[in-house]
Amino acid sequence: MALKKGLFEAADKGTIFFDEISSVNIETQAKLLRVLQEKEFMRLGGTETIKVDARIIAATNAVIEDMIAQKTFRKDLYYRLNVIKIELPPLRRRKEDIPLLVKHFVEIYGRENNKEVEGVSEDVYEILEGYDWPGNVRELENLVERAVVFSGSRIITRESLPPFLLARESAPEGWLVAPEESLDLRERTLSFQRKIILTALKKTKGVQKQAARLLGVKPTTLNEMIKRLRIDTTDFPT
Helix and strand numbers, DSSP H then E, in the chain: 11, 6
- Specify the pLDDT at position 46: 63
- Specify the pLDDT at position 69: 92
Please answer whether residues 57 and 84 qualify as being in contact, where contact means their C-beta atoms are separated by less than 8 angstroms: no
Residue spans of beta strands (DSSP E) within the chain: 15-19, 40-42, 49-51, 55-59, 119-120, 155-156
Q: What is the pLDDT along the chain (238 residues), one digit of tens a residue?
A: 556 677 787 888 889 999 889 999 999 999 899 888 888 876 666 667 788 888 899 998 888 999 999 999 999 999 999 999 888 888 988 889 999 999 999 999 999 989 889 999 988 998 998 888 888 898 999 999 999 988 888 999 988 888 878 765 554 444 445 554 555 666 767 777 788 888 888 888 888 888 888 777 788 888 888 888 878 777 665 5
- Specify the pLDDT at position 173: 46
Torsion sign, CA atoms 201, 207, 210, 215: positive
With 0-12 / 13-18 / 19 or more C-beta atoms within 10 angstroms meaning exposed / middle / buried, residue 157 is middle
Q: What are phi and psi of 174, to 5 degrees?
A: 95, -15
Residue 196 CA to residue 222 CA, distance in Å, equals 11
Residue ranges of domains in the chain: 7-81, 90-179, 184-238
Angle at 192 between CA 191 and CA 194, to 5 degrees: 65
Under CATH, domain 7-81 is a member of which superfamily? P-loop containing nucleotide triphosphate hydrolases (3.40.50.300)
- Specify the pLDDT at position 110: 92
CATH 1.10.10.410 fits 90-179, yes or no: no
User: How long a stretch of residues is the chain?
Assistant: 238
- Specify the pLDDT at position 68: 94
pTM over 0.75: no
